[in-house]
Amino acid sequence: MVPTKTKTTFSIPSTLMTPQFSDNALTVLERRYLMKDENGQVMEEPISMLWRVANTIAAGDLNYNRKVDVESLAGEFYNLLAAFDFLPNSPTLMNAGRELGQLSACFVLPVEDTMESIFETVKHTALIHQSGGGTGFSFSRIRPKNDVVHSTKGISSGPLSFMQVYDVATETIKQGGTRRGANMGIMRVDHPDIMDFIKAKSDHSILQNFNLSVAITDQFMQALQADSDYDLINPRNGEVVKKQNATKLFRQIVKQAWSSGEPGIVFIDRINAHNPTTQVGMIESTNPCGEQPLLPYESCNLGSLNLANMVTDNRIDYDKLGNTVELAVHFLDNVVDINRYPLPEIETVTKQNRKIGLGVMGFADMLIQLGHPYSSTEAINVAEDVMQFIDDKAFEKSCRLAEKRGAFPNFAKSIYAEKNPDQPVRNATRTTIAPTGTISILAGCSSGVEPLFAVSYVRRVMDNDELFEVNPQFEKIAKDNDFYSMDLIKTIAHRGSLQGIDDIPAKYRRLFETAHDISPKNHIDIQSAFQKFTNNAVSKTINFAHDAIREDVEEAFLLAYNTGCKGLTIYRDGCRENQVLNIGKTDKKTSAQPAAATAQPMVKRNRPRMLPGRTFQMTTGCGPMYVTINEDDNRHPFELFNMVGKAGGCAASQCEAIGRLVSLAWRSGMKPEPIVKELIGISCHKPAGFGENRVTSCADAIARALRQHLEENNGCKDKTLTEDMTFGACPECGGVVEHEGGCHVCHACGYSECA
């Protein structure tokens, strides 16, 4: 193995093309990818980053040919990246050619039914998160709650208690200044504690660093179809402990997914039916976003082709696509060798199977160029044709690499050896459809295989100015057809959709469908079309309108199973209070002001010596906050005090300022409701809680305390205080955040809860 380069500069050829990054992409690069000095100052240009990555990965060829022209191959890799035809997963862009050298995004770790294994895995998780990776676990091997523990003569606390240990460890690592950690927690549907697992996130304060999925078996689906019971099995001894009605449990999954978007489901038997190395081991878990099933101690490096760049003259350029696939597979295979793994066990298992995950982004952009709406039959056909072509080309390239470099070491134990032992294969898997939230920003294309999230949206910059981002293809069509105007763009940004805007011709309203214009069935049709020709799995969010009912979610889960998907993640709009979509709420609020000639001066009332009031304890990212609201004789709010953190701290001083201004407004005659609407949802970098209990900032906590005070006074909830509110925003830039592949992702700055 060639040692990972640790130097921070590379000799850059003068002939390299200059990548055309957008302003938005440059912002993301500076925040997340470009090397910085010890003072946090950027010390490399984007072109240098791409050459650093290309040169480092090209050096992997030296493992097989000491005479290879590394610079020539690096030039090919560089052009691939600089043209945005292909980009690897974020850890490769960040770490290739640097001291850390950890290049993979996806890991799965084993959790055995012993204290030693459980806490050893906690340590390993910390090392992986520290290196920029995400982790998946199955907790199905841990004995159920209240089961016997022979060594201590006590009883087991169950897998959920240990999941909370992992969650706290992840939170601690995150607070320590490293990249945000993300986990997938999976439990088999036949585990005795499965009902508790399904309901776990009913308490929104726990497992905030986990995505949860239920591993659904074929036996369970058969019992569900027959409305019969199935066995719950103690993993400690394999004994059946009781029966569970499949319909009852399935409806609980549906209920929880409808209310919070979790748990998702993975069809674990289907995943293992496509496991290429069943003789080596069975797959129990996936990475955090669900698209990469892996064996224990296995990792995978991913990369995505930009389909938006594979259309020429309104036709798919299969020659270009084929060449790009071949070079991308070569690139990803080299990553397996160049990678500096966080654990020796992971290096061993990963190199035995050499899995890579080549996927796509820009699919929605490709459809628009071809003139096919996302929800059309033509779109399904394109998905199948393109992915079959990619999968075939990737397999052919992997076989050619194997002829020169050798098959993956576990080849003899794989399904490939059973089918054709004379045809070696380099990589046990080649294709994966991952979410591409950040790298799609760099490439300037739509994310993964998702539809457009919005045709126009608002980016807020310094001084709260608003910049309207517009899909470039829509902008061109609108200008070419003489219906473009800034008023139209603002209307689209406000509505979040083109539907119902008569100024836009019907064919373009149909072509530029957004995620919420598309039915769940259409979403699943695209997912299943890609899944047919994807070795691993497909990460995709199935969007539901807020008024969707549980039966809609139930139908989607069954449709996913019946159409060959390997899992499903659903998200009902607004089901979590921390949803931070600014679409539909982009125009700055204005209030009618009296004409100057008739305006009456406000008179500040004096404070009486004694006022009645209430004090509310709120939980914030800065610690406990105490909000006191005092009233006048008419039970109108008169003044507000709050206390948070240590006296003299920044949070305390800002909160004191808010309290003084709110008190001044009330004593001058302002009603409390506008204060709630202005403060609620303001975000900072340290939110607290989850779902309905999520507090996005100290200002948000004050607004929530005031809202609770008003509702208690009125004896009921005031809809005016809950309608048309934004529930926070991106904690880094305040931009629009969408739910994508099991995570919240900001396309304005690249922030991701799972990054």
Q: Of 37, 17, 18, which Cα lies nearest the Cα of 26?
A: 18
Strands 148-149 and 86-88: unpaired
Spatial separation of the C-alpha atoms in residues 751 and 738, rounded to whole Å: 11
The three-state DSSP-derived secondary structure of 258-270 is HHHCCCEEEEHHH
Which residue reads 């770790």 in tokens? 109
Are 684 and 620 within 8 A, CB to CB? no
Token pair 């105490």: residue? 626
Q: Are 216 and 557 in contact (CB under 8 A)?
A: no
CA distance 537 to 530: 9
Q: Which residue type is seen at 409?
A: P
Length in residues, the chain: 755
Neighbours of 649 (CB within 10 A): 13
291 as an active site residue: the answer is yes
- Determine the 3-state secondary structure of 557 from DSSP: helix
Nearest CA-CA partner of 296 in 430, 137, 453, 496 = 137
Q: Report in angstroms the alpha-carbon separations of 398 from 435, 510, 538, 698, 724.
A: 23, 40, 21, 54, 52
Distance between CA atoms of 214 and 189, rounded to whole angstroms? 6
Residue 281 and residue 581 in contact, taking contact as beta carbons nearer than 8 Å: no
CB atoms within 10 A of CB 61: 21
Q: How far apart are the C-alpha atoms of 330 and 425, rounded to whole Å?
A: 13
Which one is catalytic: 24, 284, 289, 577? 289
Amino acid letter, residue 748: A
Separation in Å, CA 419 to CA 194, 354, 612, 723: 38, 19, 81, 60
* Long-range contacts of 635-640, Cβ-Cβ distance < 8 Å, separation of 24 or more: 635/713, 636/666, 636/672, 637/666, 637/672, 637/706, 637/709, 638/605, 638/607, 638/611, 638/663, 638/666, 638/667, 639/607, 639/611, 639/663, 639/666, 639/667, 640/666, 640/702, 640/706
Residue 385's CB is within 10 A of a number of other CB atoms, namely 14
State how far the Cα of 476 lies from the Cα of 683, in Å rounded to an integer. Answer: 34
Distances from the Cα of 242 to the Cα of 192, 222, 232, 234, angstroms: 8, 18, 6, 9
Query: 145 phi and psi, to 5 degrees?
Result: -60, 140
- Which amino acid belongs to residue 303? G
Q: Among 44, 262, 284, 291, which one carries the catalytic annotation?
A: 291
For residue 154, what are its two tokens? 């006590």
Q: Point out the catalytic residue in the list 287, 339, 410, 522.
A: 287
SS (H, E, C) 635-667: CCEEEEEEEECCCCCHHHHHHHHHHHHHHHHHH
Q: Helix, strand or coil for residue 149?
A: strand
- Phi/psi at 21 (nearest 5 deg)? -75, 140
Confirm if 382 and 362 have CB atoms less than 8 A apart: no
What sign results for the dihedral spanned by CA atoms 404, 408, 413, 417?
negative
Q: Is 289 a catalytic residue?
A: yes
Q: How are beta strands 210-216 and 86-88 bridged, if at all? A: unpaired
Active-site positions read 287, 289, 291
